[in-house]
Amino acid sequence: MTSTLSRALASYPNRFDPAVLDALPGRLQDTIRRRSEVLGPGYTLIYRTPVEFVSGHGAHLIDRDGNDYLDAYNNVPCVGHAHPHVVEAVTRQMSAVNINTRYVQDSLVDYAERLLATFPSELSKLSVACSGSEANDLAMRVARFHTGAEGIIVTRWAYHGITREVASFSPTLGTGSPLGPNVRLIDPPDPRLVAPGSTLADRRCVARSTTWSVTVTGSPPWSRTGRTAATGSSPTRSAT
């Protein structure tokens, strides 16, 4: 258990450490205990003291004690919390009908037309998904189909979702969910290392020097010929 936890913490540095659960306020402690009884271990919490939000509006989140947080990190809502237009549209549709895309439905076509009208003409088709995991899974299929390549570069501690494909390039899921042979990790650039007034070139340099630079030359072992050709060897790496 301890080694599972330390592996998990290593793969996700701001993860809540259940070893300190007893030190939390009673109610929060109780909810976290109940949560771990009924949710799988993949449902992690973040921060030393997990935060419990009870409502949100616009860019703000409110916790159980009434503290108001600026939401710069929770990435679920695209247009803010409790946006009246979204609340009204979802309520209207759920009160009317909830069917899959193999039936004709005006609202889907109306939406696709309105959305596509906001994009350049090359982006002329819409695919809909219910979750980020599905959207990322689909994006990988599109990218593979288009490039014929298999390699994926992701930042350490990235999370992209829970389908089998997407979990294979989500390092935060820990060692219980191994990365695919075609996946390479890089560190995210560290903005703390960028001096004020630095140029874009300086920033690129920092991005390179905080990680291994991954230089893919020619045809890497995992591209085009597919996973079966992967030998475990890395693409050309050079420490900078």
List residues near ligand PLP by CB under 6 A: 75, 131-133, 136, 159-161
Phi, psi values for residue 214, rounded to 5°:
-100, 110
For the record, the structure tokens of 84 come out as 């009246």
Helix, coil or strand: residue 174: coil
What minimum distance in Å lies between the beta carbon of 225 and ligand PLP?
28
Which tokens in the block code for residue 38?
A: 């009924």
Question: In sequence order, which residues have a C-beta less than 8 Å from that of residue 29 and are 6 or more positions away?
Answer: 21, 22
Going by C-alpha positions, the residue among 35, 2, 13 that lies closest to residue 172 is 13
Which of 12, 159 has the CB closer to ligand PLP? 159
Q: What is the DSSP string of 123-156?
A: -------SSHHHHHHHHHHHHHHHH----EEEET
Q: Which residue is nearest to ligand PLP (CB)?
A: 132
Question: Least distance to ligand PLP from the beta carbon of 130, Å?
Answer: 8
CB of 50 to ligand PLP, least distance (A): 15
CA distance 183 to 150: 9
Judged by CB, which is closer to ligand PLP: 136, or 211? 136
Q: Which is nearer to ligand PLP, 108 or 139 (CB)?
A: 139
In angstroms, rounded to a whole number, what is the distance separating the alpha carbons of residues 60 and 76?
Answer: 13
Residue 142 CB, shortest distance to ligand PLP, in Å, is 16
Question: Cβ of residue 2: shortest distance to ligand PLP, in angstroms?
Answer: 27
Query: Closest CB to ligand PLP among 16 and 223?
Result: 16
Q: How far is the CB of 171 from ligand PLP (least distance, A)?
A: 12
Alpha-carbon distance of 153 to 237, in angstroms, equals 13
Tokens of 232: 């475990």
Choose between 43 and 103: whose C-beta lies nearer to ligand PLP. 43
> Whole-number minimum distance, CB 112 to ligand PLP, in Å?
20
For every residue of 8-45, DSSP letters joined together read HHHHSTTB--GGGGGGS-HHHHHHHHHHHHHS-TT---
Nearest residue (CB) to ligand PLP, 127 versus 131: 131
Q: Which CB, 140 or 230, lies closer to ligand PLP?
A: 140
